[in-house]
A and B are shown apart, each in its own frame.
Chain A
Amino acid sequence: MSIVRSCGVVLVLLLVVVLACAPVVRAQAPAVPAAPPAQASAGNADAGRKLWVSYGCWQCHGYEGQGGAAGPRLSARSLPLAGFTAYVRRPTNQMPPYTEKVVSNAELVNIHAFIQSRPAPPPVASVPLLQK
């Protein structure tokens, strides 16, 4: 159909980080396997969760950062803060920019902490519904 699929650039940038992607772009199956769960982050994850919702990050990436048709998964994945911040400020793909005028660096640290706090998913083998 006419919905444009996200290009290879998205896959390359997954480790660099995408905060929100275009509404009309389908996320690809990730080229990178899920990272080990929850890395330590300097920010406040609870505050980050509130920002995640109010600033609309969930719209493309889901309330848990699980990703979907509009944006790639960010949860359970290694996301260095520096790269995360750089991409959010000046995204190179379909994601709308979150400039310092609307999101402070401190807020980004908290959002990053929320993403990093997402728990690892259950192993596929432990989910009977996904076996057939």
Chain B
Amino acid sequence: MSRTSSVNRRSFLKGTAVTGAAALVPDAVTQAAQAPVAPAPAQRAPAATPAREADPPVEVEAITTDRPGGDFMVDVLKSLNFDYIASNPGSSFRGIHESIINYGGNEKPEFLTCCHEESSVAMAHAYFKVEGKPMAVLCHGTVGLQHASMAIYNAYCDRVPVYILAGNTLDATMRRPGVEWAHSVQDAALMVRDFIKWDDNPVSLPHFAESAVRAYKIAMTPPMMPVVVVIDGGLQEDPIPTEVASRLRVPRLTVATPPQGDSGAVAEAARLLVNAQNPVIVADRAARTPGGIAKLVELAESIQAPVIDQHGRMNFPSRHALNHTDSAAQLIANADVILGLELTDFWGTVSAFRDALHRTSRPRVRPGTRFISITAVDLFTKSNFQDFQRYPEVDVAMAADAEATLPALTEACRKLVTAERRAAFAERRTRLEQAHARARDVARAEATHAWDASPISTARMVAELWARIRNEDWSLVAETGNTSDWAHRLWNFDKHYQHLGGSGGAGVGYGASAAVGGALANRRHGRLSVNIQGDGDMLYAPGVLWTAAHHKIPLLSVMHNNRGYHQEVMHIQRMANRHQRGITRWNIGTTIDTPNVDFAKIAQGMGVYAEGPIENPKDLGPALQRALAVVKKGEPALVDVVTQPR
């Protein structure tokens, strides 16, 4: 060994021989038994007097260790089967960083180099929605977690688990003077505690192991949300203490089964749905898994009810005859029973709200319409951040996971169907099939308006993209540009990974990074990932393009470049009109022009193939074709399209 140790091999082995943790003894501990370790943290010599630069080095017995605590942390992470850990590097987690890449071999998890913590978390956010398992994220002390906070809030609102490890140095006497103090905190998770599901601040390696596994379980139990485990710098960097090594083990993970609706409530919901004349099913984050789509189709077909997909997830095939998303307003207005599945906003679904000088609201439904809600969010609601929306007065409220409840609800419906109801369902199905076909025709006809316009219409852009991906195994990993829902109106969505939903918290800056995370998950499946990318969103953290290039993540980003924060353009216009002044000054503070941003150059500077700006619609198809050729070779590409506002 290269250093002197206060704990010799004989005494160390004597200590560790006491217990044998069998299969659950991690590699780090097993290897620790073959090598001496340095003194535990408590044995560190405190600096009695301030050291001067000219002073000789303080004499210590051990100056190296080959069994730091970070190695054991990696054992725990490996037991949780993480594929990746996304991070912008930071000194508060340098210990585990080194353990990941050397002790862990930079595999499971593999370190992803990110240029901003907001990108790390957003990548993990979308990765989960494709792959169905969390990605880990490393955040640096105070600064990294603050950078990450908006993306964490998005994931929280979107009910997505993100597994966050936050570095910190709790022991004030062990902090390096200067920056490490500014980057240390008493209670690191406090700054995000209002919008995560759980956190802990382990003070020992056994404590870390238990909390790390517990955090995973909590994050993965509906409603799923981000969790934070703070990892102390000393725990990462110091040698595994002999007295601790003997009792280190990785706890077994058993993920909780999602909660299913109460049987009585399920029966009542079935009775209402079967007997309804105009039932409507509304789904937002209903399909957690690919199986969720099939379950929702079964329910809808069991009663031949129309489905409105609010697109929080890919819930229902876009070309299924019972998909009537385009007719949502009429269906809601005529419904006598509405089933809401994991709705973000049940009240907003059944109420109209007018944003005028005097704000008013009114029901959008007929009097007496019955409401059924199934949502796991009823099991876990916090108070400070107001993402829970207006209080919905429903008739049946199941605090349960919708996808887990669907099979029981479908079965209960089937049992109640009489011959008379079956005949009524068949007649309704015929009407709905015809209406669905009409809606598709209307959508295609609407898309022709401004077909040859410049700036390019969003319908044209989306149609051009569809023509080039429809024969591929494609995945729309992000759509942040507000393109008037054209993709859902024109494309054939029928697989869970083809649409990932939105950001959750509507925090701009999600899209570009989420697209890279979703594309990373798709890469191993050989899918073609495409992203319709807003310009304002891209400017939050464009460095994620470099991450995509560096890690060779194939992704086609098509810029919806309307050269503005267009939502805010419209809000300022509204205020000016309301105040009857300056209605031509909507551009001040809202547009992104003068100069126009050259996104192709930005992307090229990050090592990404890029073309644009494309202003003539006739140039768009060939540009997409060339970019796709690059993506099919395994690399990212970007096409900047100057577009109509929506």
Q: Which residues of A contact B (CB under 8 A)?
A: 1-2, 4-8, 10-11, 20, 22-24, 26-30, 33-34, 54-56, 58-60, 62-64, 66-70, 73, 75-76, 93-94, 96-99, 101-103, 121-124, 127-130, 132
* Chain A residues whose C-beta falls within 8 Å of the C-beta of B354 in the assembled complex: 93-94
Given A23-B574, A63-B453, 10 new contacts (CB under 8 A)? A8-B330, A26-B485, A56-B584, A66-B446, A66-B453, A70-B570, A75-B450, A96-B578, A97-B577, A97-B578
* CB <8 Å contact, B451 and A1: no
Interface-side segment among B79-87, B461-469, B533-541: B461-469
Q: From the candidates B352, B451, B583, name the one contacting A122 in the complex (CB within 8 A).
A: B451
Given A8-B329, A98-B577, residue A59 in contact with residue B439 (CB < 8 A): no
Contacts of A132 in B (CB 8 A): 466-467, 470
Tell me if B586 counts as interface (CB < 8 A to partner A): yes
Given contacts A68-B484, A69-B482, A129-B463, contact A62 B644 (CB under 8 A): yes
Q: Which of B568-583 contact A (CB under 8 A)?
A: 569-571, 573-574, 576-578, 580-581, 583
Contacts of B569 in A (CB 8 A): 56, 59
- In the complex, which residues of chain A have a beta carbon less than 8 angstroms from the beta carbon of B464? 129
Q: Which residues of A contact B448 (CB under 8 A)?
A: 121-124, 127, 130
Q: Is the CB–CB distance between A68 and B566 below 8 Å?
A: no
- Flag if B326 contacts A28 (CB, 8 Å): yes
Contacting residues, chain B, for A64 (C-beta < 8 A): 449-450, 453, 457, 644
Interface centre among A30, A75, A132 (most CB of B within 10 A): A132
Contact residues, B462-488 vs A (CB, 8 A): 463-464, 466-467, 470, 482-485
B423 at the interface (CB under 8 A from A): no
Contact status B444-A124, CB under 8 Å: yes
Q: Is the CB of B578 within 8 A of A63?
A: no
What B residues does A5 contact at CB under 8 A?
328-329
When distances are taken between beta carbons in the complex, the residues of chain A under 8 Å from B483 are 69
Q: Which residues of A contact B502 (CB under 8 A)?
A: 1
Residues 373 to 431 of chain B near chain A (Cβ within 8 Å): 389
Contacts of B458 in A (CB 8 A): 68
Once the chains are docked, how many angstroms separate the CA of A4 from the CA of B354?
Answer: 10
Chain B count of residues within 8 A CB distance of the other chain: 69
- In the assembled complex, the Cα of A7 lies from the Cα of B265 at a distance in Å of 31
Interface string of B341-383 (1 = CB under 8 A from A): 0001100100011111000000010000000000000000000
Smallest CB–CB gap between A53 and chain B, Å? 9
Do the beta carbons of A62 and B646 come within 8 Å of each other? Answer: yes
A62 and B450 contact, CB distance less than 8 A: yes
A62 contacts across to B, CB distance below 8 A: 450, 453, 457, 644-646
A99 and B443 within 8 A (CB): no
List chain A residues, Cβ under 8 A from B364.
7
Q: A70-B646, A127-B448 are in contact. Are A103 and B333 (CB under 8 A)?
A: no
Do B327 and A29 touch (CB < 8 A)? yes
Report the bound CA distance from A124 to B645 in whole Å: 23
Which residue in chain A gives the minimum CB-CB distance to B586?
Answer: A56
For B577, list chain A residues within 8 Å (CB). 20, 96-99, 102
